[in-house]
Structure 1
Amino acid sequence: MAKRKKYPKIPNGYGSIKYLGKGRRNPYAVHPPTTEFTLDGVPKTPKALCYVSDWMIGFAVLTAYKAGTYYPGYEKTLAATAEISDSKLIQSILADYNLTKASDEKLEAAKKTFSDLYEEFYQWKYERDQSRKLSESSKNATRAAYKNCSAIHDKVFADLRHQDLQNIIDSCPLKHASKELIVSLMHQMYAYAEIYELCDKDYSVHVRINTEDDDEHGVPFTDDEMKILWENKENDVIQMLLIMCYSGFRITEYSKIAINLEDKSFHGGIKTRSSKIRTVPIYSGIYDMVADRCEKYGIQNILGCQTQKFRKDMNAALSDLGIAIAPTGEKHTPHDCRHTFSSLCEKYEVKENDRKRMLGHSFGGDVTNDVYGHRTLEDLRSEIEKIKICY
């Protein structure tokens, strides 16, 4: 007597196919996955979806059920397909299997927590490509940023929304630079999630730091020191320092900002959203210097060299003038020029909100000024021109 054909084991979670014995037109009962159990933990076999003549048709029914494409009577369609050819039936199974696989992957993605995704992202960024070496400082910064997101570590990533992310930044007691690292990590993780279709949209795009940048310490040049700088404005390095003192940009921003000599303005910046969109009028006292440097070095980088070289040249130039060390005992840095600009604005009573605009500082949640505070270039020019050169 011929043995009944053996079939492969059905995957977990698919259901079952039971052979009811020969002599039946449809000897295979197709049951959906078990959902109920006895008090002893024994699974209860659910009512059959249908009865079919062939095991392969039964497996096709289960695959369709798993994929969500099954409907009562679907087995008759499959039987007709099987009569045409086995390959047609196999194609039907594969089509539903692919839907099932996609559904399972989506379900798995929906379960991943912020920490789960971080582990994947970290491996993807730092470990997958050994030919692409990233610094230890970069790894440490990423790990530190992750640690500061502890409030959402166990939350499902796909369920996170903008406010969950914003709350992390708003409640963070650390300095501005640490918050910047957190925001950067959020952006990178969402970029990774979008690549692998693990989220519906990037909820980090509008996360912002609602506090002023408190990490940029510096000492403004004194009136006596400013007098010395103006007396030596023909020196190439000193000339650039004066431009920096009367425009307020960070040293690294001078290769990023757009300079418009026609309407006499700087535009752009780096770091925060407020910095990147700011406009600063070119103060009349430095306009000729800016124009000369644009002609000499090009409009893209009036600094004239790399920032590291400029720092060295600045130290040498200030040492020659005897003002390399501030009265506080600290060594002057390029960032002191930004503090000098802020100090000059304060001294000559430039409106506080306009000083913030020109420095690229946020309004710290002040919606009136942040959203509705519209100032024209000429409005800002009238404020910056309050500054007087009295040296």
Structure 2
Amino acid sequence: MIKLRKANGNGSIVKLKGNRRKSFMVRVTQGWEKDGKQIRKLIGTYATQKEAQKALIDYLDNPYDLDLANILFKDVYEKWSKLKYPKVSHSAILGYQAAYNNVEKLHDMKIKDIKARHLQEAIDKCSKGQATKKKIKFLFGQMFAYAMQNDIITKNYSEFVDLGKATEKSNREPFSNKEIELLWKHVSDIEFTDTIIIMIYSGFRIGELLELETKNIDLINMTMTGGLKTEAGKNRLVPIHPKILPLIEKRYNKDNQYLIINFKGKKMKYDNYYREKFIPIMEQLNMKHRPHDCRHTFATLLSNANANATAIKKMIGHESYATTEKIYTHKDIEELRKNVELIK
């Protein structure tokens, strides 16, 4: 190592031997041992001497916590997720986790070294669709806001990320009438086929169906109250279509907290349902659908039956349906029921 410069005994720049991309190391003195030996800590390594000098001067002008300065992107994610995940739904957690896994190149970077260009590159190189890129940008915003609140960084570069225009078309494909008939045909002999039918006739997402508690199911008045995601989607009321009433009645057990349970009598996890139930059913019936296609089918069936546009928004929890309007009168419920029963 070759010492290049010392700054009033507070820090130094050292040229590291060998062929390195970042060969200039900056260290600062944080104290002294009893024997007079300096206690040093690393600020970082840099590609040029000029960058190293700037880093040292910046630190001496405004000293910062070096432990915070060395925190990696993955460290911030871990700290942030521990606070965030207990407050959100399981489906939201899966979205965050997928977004994080799609930016693996950032994981081992120091959060303070990540600039707008790094975030933009992660977005641009992502091979996923626009929806995934939106989740990634949202994750960046959440993590960088957390890092700023905890004095780990001083600037939020996530706000400069540009998603670009969406180029891909939506590949959501509703279940055809023949496919729905096939599901009904096997509702008794293929386990959990009923849950797919329930989603098709209610518009519930998988996460929403798995979170549906028996206390929120009114078999007498034939209504269900549930939902996640947006304010418009939470706690929305959906009339039980007469066709799926027997399916819900069969699963309904007031001693169980949730309508859909696993073999242990507990709430089923999203991953287990998707991998162990939904996918095998699709393969067995030779269908190619994703879970969200059930919700898309519900909206399509309502639209094809000329259901009232406002009723559709209420039942699927559309964002344009304001929270302040979500007060259900008897007339409202009957209007929703009339529209949902347009589906044959």
Could you tell me the TM-score, scaled by structure 1's length? 0.45
- State which of 106, 129, 138 in structure 1 corresponds to 2:100: 138
Contact 1:246 1:341 in 2 (8 A): yes
Unaligned ranges ≥5, structure 2: 1-7, 12-58, 80-96, 107-114, 118-128, 159-167, 263-267
> Residue 311 of structure 1 aligns with which residue?
278
Whether the 8 Å contact between 2:305 and 2:342 is mirrored in structure 1 is no
1:108-257 to 2 correspondences below 5 Å: 122=73, 124-125=75-76, 138-141=100-103, 153=116, 175-196=130-151, 217-235=171-189, 236-257=191-212
1:280/1:153 CA distance change after superposition, 3 Å: same
Distance 2:251 2:71 in 1: 48
Q: Secondary structure at the match of 1:265?
A: strand
What CA deviation, in whole Å up to 9, does each residue of 1:109-132 have, x standing for no partner?
Answer: 9xxxxxxx999551633799xxxx
Structure 1 segment 64-143 matched on structure 2, within 5 A: 104=62, 122=73, 124-125=75-76, 138-141=100-103
The CA deviation at 1:245 is 0.7
Q: Per-residue deviation at 1:340? A: 1.4
For 2:217, the equivalent position in structure 1 comes to 261
Give the alignment's TM-score, normalised by structure 2: 0.51
Distance 1:361 1:222 in 2: 23
- The equivalent of 2:322 in structure 1 is 370
1:390 to partner: Cα distance: 7.3
Listed as ranges, the gaps of 5+ residues in structure 1 are 1-8, 13-100, 110-116, 129-134, 145-151, 155-173, 205-213, 326-330, 364-368
> Which residue of the other structure, out of 346, 354, 368, is the alignment partner of 2:303?
346
Residue 243 of structure 1: how far off its partner (Å): 0.6
- d(CA) in 1 for partners of 2:212 and 2:338? 21
Task: State the Cα distance separating 1:244 from its structure 2 match.
Answer: 0.9
Supply the distance in 1 between the matched residues of 2:255 and 2:282 (Cα, whole angstroms).
Answer: 21
Corresponding position of 1:359: 316
Cα separation, partners in 2 of 1:189 and 1:257, compared to 1, 3 Å = farther
Matched-pair contact (CA < 8 Å) for 2:224–2:238 = yes
Q: Distance in 2 between matches of 1:360 and 1:142?
A: 34
Displacement of 1:358 after TM fit? 2.8
Cα distance in 2 for partners of 1:221, 1:137 equals: 28
In the other structure, the counterpart of 1:289 is 247
1:389 and 1:309, CA in 2 relative to 1: closer, same or farther beyond 3 A? farther
Following superposition, the deviation at residue 183 of structure 1 comes to: 1.4
Q: Which has the higher strand share?
A: 2
RMSD: 5.0
Letter paired with 1:194: Q
- Once the two structures are TM-superposed, the CA of residue 297 in structure 1 deviates from its matched residue by 9.9
Question: How many Å apart are 1:371 and its aligned residue?
Answer: 5.7
Q: Tell me by how many angstroms 1:282 deviates.
A: 3.9
* Bigger radius of gyration among the two: 1
Aligned-partner Cα distance in 2 for 1:390–1:359: 15
Deviations 1:327-380 (Å, cap 9, x if unpaired)? xxxx234333212111121123333243234323323xxxxx436544527525
Displacement of 1:290 after TM fit?
A: 1.9
The answer to whether the Cα contact below 8 Å between 1:221 and 1:340 also exists between their aligned partners in 2 is yes
